[in-house]
Chains A and B, each alone.
Chain A
């Protein structure tokens, strides 16, 4: 057990960079204050959103109480927590078990596979408990207070809480280990990660669509029946939800009313949780190290003939193009980068397409939307522009452009590429990704609301122009505080404050820009609105471009 605790602490320390934090406190004050600032500012920035979540959950509880469905409240919280743990768990499990560098150092040591698996699992669990606590504890407290529950509820709720992250994480870990050991997937671990993430997103989205269609597609009689059932039976809706997540039944039976049977249900839940964990460890013992060793085999390319080499090498590219191609290749070939920077341009348009396909819009409503579009083209155009800027502001491509290079950044800092080429190449990648998002969205929207060519041209040009200052601001942030010291590419994005800052600043800027220009365009003159938008966007772009091109070469000297 001692060994497991020590390994777990090592993994947590490595993930959080605790030792580095205290080292910086002593020897590198500048870096220490940067980390301290992040540690304080991120939780503080999230406080309003968290209060909003608690308010929504409180309102949900009272709403459900009014229709005699308060028992379903715990299940809703349970499902939200479980689904989120499942979604984020996929990335964490892949990261900790398969993409972390420490495994190569640990395999040769005399540590049993079981201890390694348990310690890695515990280290993920530690983070998931914090996450689950933030999501589920308010639900337990709201329900407990609302129903006037006593200390026994508190005790049983504590045991239920202990099981929350273990069950979904055990299942995710076991499934991932099982797939990763498959011989046919040797050398394709990057592809597997991308597939996994998209499957996860597709599953959640599919579930949501299915759920919406189940509630919305019934005819009037069925809906009436459903309402009657819900109003007369306290467990009507609970049964519907239970089918989505069977373990939520056990949790609900245990906590909705405290009886002697509650203890039995908690015991069953604990038993199932322990069994799932044991099963995961048993599967892991058979396949984990084996899959690690085979996963290290990287798929090799074909041998190149002299002609092929000559063809590949003699095509000369400009410096900006060389930076552009290299940055794009790294984004496309590193799963974590791909998912964080590129997937949004595929997922968002897909959401639009599927939503419109599955949700039937009544003819009157459709007519109403089309009338609105005809009557207020300026407002609609600015809404479209804001949506197109969204793709630029959310990709985080420029805000992590240097950070993503990590230890290889010495190369791009050493080569003689002008600041102008660096800016063009790196911003160009972000613009390309944004453009793809715009094109895919237009294709998705065009099926339902055909847009005129002039509208498309205007909104695309202004959408790209409006996002340029955000992209350049991201580059400016990453030039000033790149995160290069990481052992896992996920940290270059997830632990990077530049992403959060750029996102918040970008959203505030877009809101103001669209607000001011839109109002001017709507109330005074449309051309004036578009003109102001263009002038402000160009002005900020030029300012950021000038600042970056003057400072980049010098800032690169301060990267380490």
Chain B
């Protein structure tokens, strides 16, 4: 469903690769966790997947569509919520959601049903007519999540989704992620919260200094590490 093949990215300094020749695949129905220390290349990888950055080399396909060859076609396959969702501060919540529904061409009947459902889940129905500038960080995060779920994407991509969410919203989001995958779609997300990754991910990839150092299920990672310890301990050992 989401496939990266030998993807690399360098910024200003050509000798230092932010992402170095990484390959992995996210299968249908799978929650895929992407973990790594600060500056390891997680956000750069995600930005290349969601067409915010062009890789220097390699290929990224989303639902079989190459995101360099058919940028627009690929964009229709996913939705993305960044770690700090910067939204238009002068726009009202409801205007933002209508905009998202319009650009993803969501049919009138579906958009209302979905929006109402997620507004209820994240408890922001009362704030929906306020300017986004008046929202707290967590509320902006919730609004960005509702906006991203409007078109029921094939691949749901999130960068540090739990940061800023209250415990209930965090719990609800994990449930949404699981339901999303149970319907045959996929979730790809980065996180620093290793407990969450360990509990909800079907498979996990660990990235360090731009290189992928481990990919697999929790059992596979434990097996390779020769340890029955938690993901946190294995992560610390691998990234030392």
Q: Does A301 contact B (CB under 8 A)?
A: yes
Whether B94 pairs with A304 at a CB distance below 8 angstroms is yes
Whether A322 pairs with B82 at a CB distance below 8 angstroms is no
Q: What is the 8 Å Cβ interface bit string for chain A, positions 7-41, against chain B (1 contact, 0 not)?
A: 00000000000000000000111000000000000
**Complex CA–CA separation, A170 to B112 (angstroms):** 53
- Beyond A29-B12, A302-B129, A415-B75, whether A408 also contacts B108 by CB under 8 A is no
Whether B71 pairs with A553 at a CB distance below 8 angstroms is yes
Q: Does A186 contact B (CB under 8 A)?
A: no
- Beyond A301-B131, A304-B129, whether A316 also contacts B54 by CB under 8 A is no
Q: Does A334 contact B (CB under 8 A)?
A: yes
Q: What is the 8 Å Cβ interface bit string for chain B, positions 93-124, against chain A (1 contact, 0 not)?
A: 01101111111110111011001100000000
Q: Which residue of A lies closest to B106 (CB)?
A: A316
Q: Which residue of A lies closest to B108 (CB)?
A: A314
Partner-contacting stretch, out of A145-153, A244-252, A277-285, A325-333: A325-333
Whether B12 pairs with A414 at a CB distance below 8 angstroms is no
Whether A317 pairs with B102 at a CB distance below 8 angstroms is yes
- Residues of chain B within 8 A of A407, CB atoms compared: 86
- Residues of chain A within 8 A of B13, CB atoms compared: 27
Whether A301 pairs with B102 at a CB distance below 8 angstroms is no
Q: Does A508 contact B (CB under 8 A)?
A: no
In this complex, which of B13, B99, B108, B115 has the most chain A Cβ atoms within 10 angstroms of its Cβ? B99
- Interface range on chain B (Cβ under 8 Å from partner): 35 or more
Whether B99 pairs with A414 at a CB distance below 8 angstroms is no
Whether A413 pairs with B52 at a CB distance below 8 angstroms is yes
* B66-103 residues at the A interface, CB under 8 angstroms: 71-72, 75-76, 80, 82, 86-88, 90-92, 94-95, 97-103
- Residues of chain A within 8 A of B98, CB atoms compared: 312-313, 315, 317, 322
Whether B134 pairs with A300 at a CB distance below 8 angstroms is yes
Q: Does B237 contact A (CB under 8 A)?
A: no
Whether A312 pairs with B94 at a CB distance below 8 angstroms is yes
Q: Does A418 contact B (CB under 8 A)?
A: yes
Q: Kindly provide the distance from the CB of A509 to the nearest chain B CB, expressed in whole angstroms.
A: 31
Whether A329 pairs with B54 at a CB distance below 8 angstroms is no
Whether A27 pairs with B86 at a CB distance below 8 angstroms is no
**Complex CA–CA separation, A405 to B102 (angstroms):** 19
Q: Kindly provide the distance from the CB of A520 to the nearest chain B CB, expressed in whole angstroms.
A: 43
- Residues of chain B within 8 A of A312, CB atoms compared: 94, 98
Q: Interface SS of chain A: helix, strand, loop or mixed? A: helix
- Interface range on chain A (Cβ under 8 Å from partner): 35 or more
Which listed residue (B86, B107, B126) contacts A408, Cβ 8 A? B86
Which listed residue (B53, B72, B90) contacts A418, Cβ 8 A? B72
Whether A557 pairs with B104 at a CB distance below 8 angstroms is no
Q: Does B218 contact A (CB under 8 A)?
A: no
- Beyond A326-B99, A330-B90, A417-B103, whether A410 also contacts B52 by CB under 8 A is yes
Q: Kindly provide the distance from the CB of A105 to the nearest chain B CB, expressed in whole angstroms.
A: 15
Which listed residue (B95, B126, B127, B130) contacts A329, Cβ 8 A? B95
Whether B71 pairs with A560 at a CB distance below 8 angstroms is no
Q: Kindly provide the distance from the CB of A48 to the nearest chain B CB, expressed in whole angstroms.
A: 36
- Residues of chain B within 8 A of A313, CB atoms compared: 94, 97-98, 101, 108, 111-112, 115
Whether B52 pairs with A414 at a CB distance below 8 angstroms is yes
Q: Which residue of B lies closest to A334 (CB)?
A: B90
**Complex CA–CA separation, A302 to B93 (angstroms):** 12
Whether B90 pairs with A27 at a CB distance below 8 angstroms is no
Q: Does B51 contact A (CB under 8 A)?
A: yes
**Complex CA–CA separation, A302 to B130 (angstroms):** 8
Q: Which residue of B lies closest to A308 (CB)?
A: B129
Whether B92 pairs with A414 at a CB distance below 8 angstroms is no
- Residues of chain B within 8 A of A303, CB atoms compared: 126, 129
**Complex CA–CA separation, A15 to B81 (angstroms):** 30
Whether B104 pairs with A415 at a CB distance below 8 angstroms is yes
Which listed residue (A28, A314, A411, A415) contacts B112, Cβ 8 A? A314
B interface residues (Cβ-Cβ under 8 A, vs A)? 11-13, 50-54, 71-72, 75-76, 80, 82, 86-88, 90-92, 94-95, 97-105, 107-109, 111-112, 115-116, 126-131, 133-134
| A-B residue pairs in contact (CB < 8 Å), sample of 18 | A28-B12, A300-B127, A301-B131, A306-B116, A313-B98, A313-B101, A314-B111, A317-B98, A326-B91, A329-B88, A330-B90, A333-B91, A334-B90, A414-B80, A416-B103, A553-B72, A554-B71, A556-B51
Can you list the 8 inter-chain pairs with the closest CB atoms, starting with the nearest? A301-B129, A322-B102, A416-B75, A333-B90, A298-B134, A557-B54, A27-B12, A407-B86
